[in-house]
Amino acid sequence: MKGTFAKHLVFSYGTLKRGFPNHHIMERIGASYLTDALTIENYPLLLAGKWNTPFMIQKKGHPDSHHVSGELYRVDDKGLSVLDEFEGVHRSYYRRSKINLSTQDEKKSSEQAWCYFRYEATDDLLADPSRFIACFGPEAAKEYVPVNSRPEDWHIDP
């Protein structure tokens, strides 16, 4: 199948990055780390929900938002499908959309990549810009509750 070998660029800003709790998924799908990257436009990034999950909200240029830092990966069709499943795209937790990035390597090139944005209503979360962060780093990761530390039925909506 010709499409199986297609490659996709994916921007990871949270727990899938190297050194973070869910990076094993990127390893399992054979994702290739390319470079660190920064969003060209500002977006709100924050931790929210009872698991303190990092997520970006698709509100480009929202007041007090930041250029979000993350990592750029290359994945194949199957890998993208696995990421969609992990991010809950079919359950409407996240939606996958293209964004513009600036690579942070010596080339400093502009790239377009897939990014996972929070899908659910977000107006209440946008009301407090003091919660916005530019980078999901080690300090923010301390607040995150990894999937393997949650109850077995954590993903079932009440």
- Which domains are delineated in the chain? 2-148 (3.10.490.10)
CA 130-20-83 angle, 5° bins: 95
Task: Look at residues 22, 18, 13, 20 and name the one whose alpha carbon lies nearest to residue 32.
Answer: 18
Is-catalytic flag, 139? no
pLDDT in tens, the chain (158 residues): 344 556 999 999 999 999 999 999 999 999 999 999 999 999 999 998 888 899 999 999 999 999 999 999 999 999 999 999 999 898 888 899 999 999 998 888 899 999 999 877 678 889 888 889 999 999 999 999 887 888 887 765 43
Q: What is the DSSP letter of 26?
A: H
**Which pLDDT belongs to residue 2?**
45
Distance CA 94, CA 107 (A): 31
12 forms beta bridges with 71
Of the residues 41, 71, 87, 152, only one is catalytic, namely 87
- Say if pTM beats, i.e. exceeds, 0.75: yes
